[in-house]
């Protein structure tokens, strides 16, 4: 066990250096987009992959709270993809800021992973992700949350340990695109809550933001969508170059 932990730490530390740029083909990208869609859209696969999106969502709230000086009470996660991040703030702006950074964060993280994968920083992205997930144990406050986070940490650690550095970029691009698709799916689910499932409004971040600011929930949903769209634009830039190369041949 000590040897495994030592090897994992060595791989995490060695990941913080730029690796050779991956040779990503247009065919590979198309396959990855299909796989990302398969992970995020069908209920069978979303039941499991969606938990990673939920963890990312709640960590977005937590990180936004910490950088604005709020006290983080804890994070609770459930298998039904719901989650709660409890923060304590003395001002309105910090509370609004941390509440906003939930739904957009899977898209932002996904775009960062795609960029990292294309630019030789795939191992660094995996190392950072593993450390953040491991650090989040400090804030998990329920047994199911510990189970979900443990699964995410184990999955991330296995990727760090067993994916060769020359393939890490490809894996990170795939995970990033899957999170980007997941961000769109979650936005659609949020919109459905406001349009058809209004009995669930108390659980909506957009509704909580409306109550805190009197700005209509629809405006907040549009702002979420704008950040996710911007994340897709960032991720599309290196992808567009690959497809442009194919078209020029």
Mean pLDDT of the 110-134 span: 94
Q: Is residue 233 part of a domain?
A: yes
Mean pLDDT of the 132-153 span: 95
Judge contact between 110 and 178, C-beta under 8 A. yes
Distances (CA, A) of 70 to 89, 97, 101, 109: 5, 11, 14, 22
Mean pLDDT of the 65-73 span: 93
Mean pLDDT of the 216-240 span: 97
Q: Is residue 209 part of a domain?
A: yes
Give the pLDDT of residue 40: 83
Q: Is residue 247 part of a domain?
A: no
**Is pLDDT at 117 greater than 80 in this prediction?**
yes
Judge contact between 173 and 30, C-beta under 8 A. no
Q: What pLDDT digit, counting tens, does each position of 85-101 carry?
A: 999 988 899 999 999 99
Give the pLDDT of residue 9: 77
For residues 101 and 94, what is the distance between their CA atoms, to the nearest angstrom? Answer: 11
Q: Give the helix/strand (H/E) hosting 228.
A: helix 217-248
Give the pLDDT of residue 17: 82
**Is pLDDT at 65 greater than 60 in this prediction?**
yes
- The residue segments making up the domain with residue 27 are 18-239
Q: Is residue 71 part of a domain?
A: yes
Whole-number mean pLDDT of the chain?
91
14-18, 40-44, 198-202: which is most confident? 40-44
Give the pLDDT of residue 223: 98
Q: Is residue 37 part of a domain?
A: yes
**Is pLDDT at 248 greater than 70 in this prediction?**
no
Q: Is residue 245 part of a domain?
A: no
Judge contact between 191 and 221, C-beta under 8 A. yes
Burial of 80 by CB count in 10 Å (0-12 exposed, 13-18 middle, 19+ buried)? exposed
Q: Is residue 11 part of a domain?
A: no
Q: Is residue 56 part of a domain?
A: yes
Of 56, 71, 28, 233, nearest to 128 by C-alpha is 56
Is this model's pTM higher than 0.85 or not? yes
Give the pLDDT of residue 246: 64
The number of residues in the chain equals 249
Total domains, the chain: 1
Burial of 113 by CB count in 10 Å (0-12 exposed, 13-18 middle, 19+ buried)? buried
């Amino acid at each position: 066990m000590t040897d495994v932990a030592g090897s994992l730490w060595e791989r995490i530390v060695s990941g913080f250096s730029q690796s050779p740029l991956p040779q990503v083909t247009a065919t590979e990208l198309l396959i990855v987009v299909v796989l990302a869609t398969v992970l995020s859209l069908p209920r069978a696969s979303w039941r499991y992959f969606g938990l990673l999106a939920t963890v990312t969502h709640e960590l977005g709230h937590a990180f936004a709270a910490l950088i604005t000086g709020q006290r983080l009470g804890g994070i609770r996660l459930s298998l039904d993809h719901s989650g709660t991040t409890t923060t304590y703030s003395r001002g309105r702006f910090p509370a609004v800021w941390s509440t906003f950074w939930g739904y957009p964060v899977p898209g932002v993280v996904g775009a960062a992973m795609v960029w990292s994968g294309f630019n030789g920083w795939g191992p660094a992205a995996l190392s950072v992700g593993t450390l953040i997930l491991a650090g989040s144990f400090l804030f998990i406050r329920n047994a199911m949350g510990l189970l979900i986070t443990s699964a995410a940490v184990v999955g991330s650690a296995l990727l760090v340990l067993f994916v060769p550095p020359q393939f890490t970029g490809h894996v990170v691009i795939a995970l990033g695109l899957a999170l980007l698709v997941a961000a769109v799916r979650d936005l659609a689910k949020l919109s459905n809550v406001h349009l058809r499932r209004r009995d669930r409004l108390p659980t909506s971040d957009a509704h909580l933001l409306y109550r805190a600011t009197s700005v209509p929930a629809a405006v907040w949903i549009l702002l979420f969508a704008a950040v996710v769209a911007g994340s897709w634009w960032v991720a599309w830039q290196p992808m567009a170059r690959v497809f442009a190369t194919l078209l020029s041949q």
